[in-house]
Amino acid sequence: MEQTTLGYPRAYRSVSAFALLGPAYGTMNVLVELAPDAGEHRNRIVSMIGQMGGLIGVMLTLDVGDHEAAKHCLSIAARAAQQIGDPELMAFTLGCRAFHAAYSGDDLACERLVDAATVHTAHIDLAEGFIRDRSLDNGAAHTIDALMIVASTRHADSLRRVEALYDIVKATRTPAVRSLGEKLIELKATA
């Protein structure tokens, strides 16, 4: 299934979306059927569901002009990324959603999603690196930056990553770590 899923984006470059949509939907439906009983392979299956949802969403947006159906597929992709905690899939999905917003005429949403796609994982990745290197204040500062993005995008996976980072550093109680804790509490209070 993985090779099939990976083949669709390559095929999309040379085959019309109209020829690919039916098989792509079929593949996504098979993956959805396989996911509940996939055991240790479940995350890989869910990742493929997200990839297919993103690709189908882009084809529906660009080639068919069915923005409502595209929005549904892109929400499937986003849920898949959140469910397995995959920052790369989330960035891909945010990029697809930004593309959809642009073609739907929602320039503001497009801008917000593009910024989130390119920045949200970078701050969390930097924070994780700093914390691994025991540079806790730098890690806390980048985690606060990531938290500000989470506040505007409401990505559950990113919030979980921020909470995990806070759990690692909270015992140090430096000013930066205290500030992170306060901002995390504020965000949860508004959720």
- pLDDT (0 to 100) of residue 53: 95
Low-confidence ranges of the chain (pLDDT < 50): none
* Alpha-carbon gap, residue 52 to 57, rounded angstroms: 8
* Alpha-carbon gap, residue 93 to 15, rounded angstroms: 22
CB atoms near residue 3 (< 10 Å): 6
- pLDDT (0 to 100) of residue 18: 93
Instruction: At 137, list the tokens.
Output: 């204040």
Burial 133-142 (b: 16+ CB within 10 A, else e): eeebebbbbb
CB atoms near residue 107 (< 10 Å): 10
User: What SS3 state is found at 9?
Assistant: helix
- pLDDT (0 to 100) of residue 97: 83
Degrees (nearest 5) of the Cα angle 75, 68, 25?
A: 65
- pLDDT (0 to 100) of residue 42: 94
- pLDDT (0 to 100) of residue 41: 94
